[in-house]
A and B are shown apart, each in its own frame.
Chain A
Amino acid sequence: DVKVTQSSRYLVKRTGEKVFLECVQDMDHENMFWYRQDPGLGLRLIYFSYDVKMKEKGDIPEGYSVSREKKERFSLILESASTNQTSMYLCASSPGGRFYEQYFGPGTRLTVT
């Protein structure tokens, strides 16, 4: 059974803080993704990675960066959190060559005050 875990379910941070969201998958998947979900806007892709140390921008990368030092771990970094980054953040992974076969983590509800 594929398992994608995220470091926190709920997080509250202050404006300007640096925020790290961690994601770990245990199925040796090549691809990993970060999305944010907002009401009425659906799932929007922030960044994805198809290999260790490789990353590609998604549709809304502004204000975010990512790190993938190990195959199983993909981190999302908010360099200076802002209130408009309050959202549900979802991590996903997929096998190599099968981007459509995504397995999602439970999500992190981030509130920036």
Chain B
Amino acid sequence: DQQVKQNSPSLSVQEGRISILNCDYTNSMFDYFLWYKKYPAEGPTFLISISSIKDKNEDGRFTVFLNKSAKHLSLHIVPSQPGDSAVYFCAASVSGGSYIPTFGRGTSLIVHP
């Protein structure tokens, strides 16, 4: 039973436009959420996170939105660049640090020049 779902396996976007990657979760205990980015033949790297006490967190071109009532979060990339082409993993955890994040299956983003 998937507790973290990324229902879109892939997304294709034109350079300069907005990319929106979605993630849903089912476990109400999750209160800390992360996005990782993975290039082929490399390990995932941390991108951005959000705590449930916030509904938005921004870092440069990357913004994560959290809708707790819908158990939904999204990652916005504006403007999208070809170098953003990668697999993006959503992960959910419980604050306090003693819960290993549960990862979604990933969304492959392709940004076309």
Residues of A at the B interface (CB closer than 8 Å) are 4, 9, 33, 40-45, 48, 58, 90-92, 97-107, 109
Contact (A4, B93) CB under 8 Å given A33-B100, A45-B100, A48-B100: no
A1 to B: closest C-beta gap in Å: 12
Chain B interface residue count, CB cutoff 8 Å, equals: 24
Q: Which residues of B contact A58 (CB under 8 A)?
A: 100
CA distance A103 to B34 in the complex (A): 13
A43 touching B93, Cβ below 8 Å: no
- Pick from A9, A44, A90, A100: contact of B93, CB below 8 A: A100
Query: Interface SS of chain B: helix, strand, loop or mixed?
Result: loop
Q: Which residues of B contact A99 (CB under 8 A)?
A: 93, 97-101
Stretch touching chain A among B40-48, B57-65, B77-85: B40-48
Give the interface centre of A4, A48, A106 by most chain B CB atoms within 10 Å.
A106
Asked if B105 lies at the interface with its beta carbon under 8 angstroms from chain A, I say yes
CA distance A102 to B98 in the complex (A): 12
A100 touching B101, Cβ below 8 Å: yes
